[in-house]
Structure 1
Amino acid sequence: MAVDFFASSNILFVNMSKFEISPEDCLITLEFRDSASLREVATRLNCDPSALVRKVQRIASEHGLLEKVKGRWVLTAKGHLLNRWTEDSLVSQKRLLESKPQMRIGTTMWLSEQVIVPYYQALHQATEAHYNWIVTTPHRSFETELIEGTCDFVIACGAPVDPLISYKRILPEEFILIAPKSWQKEFKKIEEQERFEKLLTKPFVRHSDMNPQEFLNLPEQITNISLTVDNIIGIRSAVSKGHGWSVVPRLAVLNELEADELIEIPYGKLKVLTQNHLSLWWLRSRKEPQQLVGKMQQWLLHSLAGIK
């Protein structure tokens, strides 16, 4: 039987994935709530009464939603419960059709914190308030999220590999050296050319995806690693708590530098090796995101100019 009643909670479960009760049968059953006779139902549905009789008989025999009492077709208890479900479904469908479409942005936690959420209102205005925006930090790769349709855009550092994905570079990703505030006096006394050598004697907070020797163009590995973290926010927190120094995107620590919670260790001769850019990704085959690329790009450029 396609309909089952869970008595303890008075919930009607309908296997909608197989449509064992068709939308037509649901609407026919719903009309019996306010109609006194089968002929009245036929009039309301604008259908032939003889054809409706056969459908009503089938609904009664297959699903037990209607029964004949004293010569009249009336709703059973299951029929009343199905009507509640049908009414809720009709209301939900109307809300869905009247609601704004969603656009989903996949990004990192620190970009969400520093760029996307603070400047969301500007994005809302740039897209003429036409969309409900959802910002997410996916557990899977950004490329997988785009290809499988669980994200409409990705804002990330670097470029995609899959040829199905298009992207636009927004601006270069600038990295800086950061250290705990408590080190400020010590490093003020040191000449600039000696600062980096001094840093190498201090504990280093490493990002799990970064090889510091290659990234910082060092002749040998950094061995004094105090902590390894898999995200930029964690690195920022570790440095601010005094666990060591590190290398991070400037955008990720602007607020902390301004609040004097961290210090930047300037070193002009330091060669931070990165060719990454903050970029906007989208799937080539999807028309709606493609049409929004220009507005998204301008929003990002304007927002980042405001941050800097």
Structure 2
Amino acid sequence: MEKPKKIFTDLVDKAVAAANSMHRDELLFSYKGIRYPITICSPETFKALESFEARSDDIVLAGYLKSGTNWLSQIINDLIAVSKKKTQGRESNVNDEELGEFPYLEVGDAEKYERMTKLPCPRFMVTHLRPENLPKSIFKNKVKILLLLRNPKDVATSFYHFSNGIATLPSYETWDDFFTDFMTKKLAWGCYLEYLSEWNKYIDEENIMTITYEELKENRALGVKNIAAFLGIPLTEEELQFVAERSSFQSMKKNSENTHGAFGDVFFRKGVVSDWKNIFSEDQNEKMDKAFEEHVAGTKLGKKLKYDLYCKA
């Protein structure tokens, strides 16, 4: 796994170095009405992504920024590794270690999708994109999508700290300023509540499984077991425990320098539920509650989030 990890850390290091020489207002660009970080995404990449040809055995992890995608990536990568060990007789004339790509589908150069045609099965990809901005082939070929959800107040809180910890995103002098931008759709990857509303249209598709950050925190072993079943990977009790233990927050934070380089502590800050209570004002709580009610509350996805349990003071 050293080569893929190096690809991840090299891209992040290069992006941060470029961002450090840019003005705050230059860090984001707009594509089809949504903003993205210019140092890791580009219009050319998005254009090339439209014609990306998904395979039916691809695996996609979809989750908004700071919903726990790094955490779930660890689990899924370990499950794929377990699966490959069980089928080591498979024929392959490519070296998995030599063909690694940055895992986030929309991040990188426009030529990455051509290189990805050489990757062995199953290809694992992560995305923060809304469904309408994903390649149509993902839905046409019924790719298995694990949709990760997290309560919006904790997403906002984590996003705020992340923005102030990494140069590729605009930093904020105050939480109040960030909250205003979060609620007025001015952040990278767009509005989270709109993201939830759009993904709700796909929640009944048989190739899509939803899982919440909160339920995974409550019972990680059960979450791993359910994900493995969705991906069709049988696990022994020993393998289940191995994957669950490696994906504990403590274990991942301890290893974060190896997996995420100098910014490991930024990617893995607290990993808790209800950190929003330390930062939201009463007025901000009311504004978020109202927006959630308008966009998501009556949907199946909204019910899955258990908003009253995790987001009411």
Higher fraction of strand: 1
The two structures share one fold, judged by TM-score above 0.5: no
- TM-score normalized by the length of structure 1: 0.26
Over alpha carbons, which structure has the higher Rg? 1
Higher RCO (CA 8 Å, separation ≥ 6 residues):
2
- TM-score normalized by the length of structure 2: 0.25
